Amino acid sequence: MAADPPHGRPRTSQTAARRPPGRGDSPVDARASRSDSRPDSDRLRHQPRSGRHRRRPRPAHLPPREQAGGTDRLPQQRGRGRSLQSLAHLLGRGAVVITLYSRAASDISLSTALDAVTGLDGAVAFLSTPREHITARVRDGRCHTRDGVRSLDTVFEARIFDEDKEVRWLSTSGHQGRAVALSEEPGLLPDSFPDRLADLSAAEAIESHYLLWGQALPGEGEWTTLHTPQIGTLHVPFPAPEPRRRLRLAAREYVCAEPEHGNAYVGEERLVRIEQAPAEESGSGRG
C-alpha cells in the first residue's frame, strides 16, 4: 500500500486498478488505466540543473542580445514561491481556484466510518479482501452486493464514493484503521473525524475515465454482470448498458502548481461514479 500523499490523505493502491479481480484487485482495465503523471525521479523534468548553464557564442550575423543594464545575460531562474494564481493565469484568465477539503480519523472501524459520514446512501463501494475485489452499494450504513448485505470482517481497504464526496479506509490493525473523507464542500465532511487535513488548492479539476474490464451480460434491474474469459465475472451496481456498450469509472483530477517552477501536476484524484462508456470507447480493451 502506498504511503500517504503530501497533504496527509491515504492513497489507495494503484495496483488495485490494474490486476484482475478475484485476487483482491479492482476491475479497471489495465490497458485503459492512466499511469501516474508525475515523474519517477525527484527532479522535475524541466527543472534547471545547478551549475550546468554554459553560454554558447552568439552567431556573428545576429545582433547583440540586450537585457536590463545593457548586458547579454542568461534568462533568470524563476524565484521560489510561484503562486497558484500564476498557474491559474497560465491555464486561462478568470480561472477559479478549487479547494478540496478533507478530515481524517484513526483507530476507527470501516462500519463506524460509514455511519459517521451522512448522505452516503446510494454511494458505490469498492471493497478489497485478501481473496477478492467486491463492488457494493451503500444503504443505511451497510454495504449491499447483488446477493445481499456484505460482511466487512475481511475487508482491509475500501473506497466509497458518490458525486460529491469520497471516503477512504485502510486497515492498520485488525478491524481498526484510518479513514479519510474528501469533498469540495466542507459541510459534507463528518465532524466526528477529529483531524482536519491541509486543504488542497487546485487551479483546475478535470474528469478522467477508466474502462471496466469485461462485456456486460444481458440482464435487468440495478446490477450489471461483467464477464471476460480471461478474468471472470464481476457484479456492478449499475443498470445494464445498451447493447455492445461497456461501463467505465469516472474520476475527478485536481491539477495543482509546483510552487518553485510552475509545473502542473495532478495533486489528487477523487472517484465519482460508474457510467456507460461512449460507443467509441466500448470497442477497445478486454472482453
- pLDDT tens, residue order, the chain (287 aa): 444 444 444 444 433 333 444 444 555 553 444 444 444 434 333 333 344 444 455 445 444 443 333 333 333 333 333 445 555 555 554 556 899 999 999 999 999 999 999 999 999 999 999 999 999 999 999 999 999 999 999 999 999 999 999 999 999 998 999 999 999 999 999 999 999 999 999 999 999 999 998 899 988 789 999 999 988 899 999 998 998 899 999 999 999 988 788 789 999 999 999 999 998 887 754 44
Please state whether beta strands 215-216 and 224-228 pair in parallel, antiparallel, or not at all (unpaired).
antiparallel
Find cell 446477493 and name the residue.
Answer: 147
Q: Has residue 69 been placed in a domain?
A: no
Q: Has residue 139 been placed in a domain?
A: yes
Distance CA 154, CA 130 (A): 7
Question: 107: helix, coil or strand?
Answer: strand
- Report the run of H or E that residue 266 belongs to, with start and end: strand 264-276
Quote the pLDDT of residue 85. Answer: 52
Quote the pLDDT of residue 208. Answer: 96
Quote the pLDDT of residue 40. Answer: 42
Q: How far is the CA of 280 from the CAs of 133, 236, 277, in angstroms?
A: 28, 21, 8
- Provide the residue type at 171 as one letter: S
Q: Length of the chain in residues, anyone? A: 287
User: Among 109, 106, 105, 107, which Cα is nearest to 152's?
Assistant: 109
- Provide the residue type at 204 as one letter: E
Q: How far is the CA of 192 from the CAs of 99, 141, 177, 254, 270, in angstroms?
A: 21, 16, 15, 26, 21
Would you report the helix, strand and coil content of the chain in percent, each value rounded to 5? 10, 35, 55
Q: Has residue 136 been placed in a domain?
A: yes
Q: Has residue 3 been placed in a domain?
A: no
DSSP bridge partners of 258: none
Q: Has residue 208 been placed in a domain?
A: yes
Q: Has residue 107 been placed in a domain?
A: yes
Q: Has residue 224 been placed in a domain?
A: yes
Sign of the dihedral defined by the CA atoms of residues 116, 121, 126, 129, in that order:
positive
Q: Has residue 207 been placed in a domain?
A: yes
> Could you give the residue ranges of the DSSP H alpha helices within the chain?
84-91, 110-116, 279-282
Domain count for the chain, please give it.
Answer: 1
Domain of residue 236 covers 14-32+90-282
